[in-house]
Amino acid sequence: MKVIETTLPSAMVIEPQVFGDSRGFFYESYNQAKFHEAGITGALVQSNVSRSAKGVLRGLHYQWPNPQGKLVSVLEGEVFDVAVDIRRGSPTFGRWEGVVLTAENHRHFWIPEGFAHGFCVLSEFATFAYQCTALYDPIADAGVRWNDPDIAVDWPISHPLLSGKDEKALLLKEVPQDRLPEYQR
């Protein structure tokens, strides 16, 4: 597999080795030894799948306490996927990175613990799959507004379909400091 660094330390893109033949293809979506070597050492303890129509935007979500590292990919369609460093005290606080993930490019994006995450759907439908390093905790579930001007994600769509929760999400500057993840060197 190929590991591609991003502008945010520890957020990375992983391109698995894809074995194609007359039947179709095969790839390892997770291999503990190879991921450990790449610096992704947390145990993946929950797997999720969501499906969304074109124009849907889910995000920007995080969990605190009990932050989740997320290994995300697309099984059907195409999304623009975003990680935002919202760890208080981080040298890259407030900075984001975006990656196009498609069912064809097989790219995986590693969202480290303490980052907010979101995506918008560019194809008619997208099936999104991800594994997390911590279990879902509805009490700790939190979000930051998708179009927060202080983060200024350059989303490729302008009028997304949002959940009620995401429509009402706080701006980053409105989130109390103790509700933000901690930066750990």
Q: Which residues are catalytic?
A: 61, 130
Closer by beta carbon to ligand TDO, 34 or else 123: 123
Q: Which two tokens stand for residue 132?
A: 């997390």
User: Min. distance of Cβ 22 from ligand TDO in angstroms?
Assistant: 36
Q: Summarize as ranges the residues that interact with ligand TDO (CB under 6 A).
A: 48, 50, 58-59, 61, 70, 117-119, 136, 163
Under 8 Å between Cβ of 69 and 111? yes
Query: Which CB, 41 or 48, lies closer to ligand TDO?
Result: 48
Q: Cα(51)–Cα(127) distance, rounded to whole angstroms? A: 4
In angstroms, the first-to-last Cα distance of the chain is 27
Q: Which is nearer to ligand TDO, 25 or 125 (CB)?
A: 125
Q: Write the single-letter amino acid at 11.
A: A
**Nearest distance from C-beta of residue 81 to ligand TDO, angstroms:** 9
Provide DSSP, 34-69. HHHHTT--S---EEEEEEEETTBEEEEEEESSS---
- Residue whose Cβ sits closest to ligand TDO: 136
Closest distance to ligand TDO from the beta carbon of 24 (Å) = 28
Let me know if 83 is exposed, middle or buried by CB neighbors in 10 A (0-12, 13-18, 19+): buried
Q: Choose between 90 and 126: whose C-beta lies nearer to ligand TDO.
A: 126
Round to whole Å and give the CA distance between 71 and 108: 6
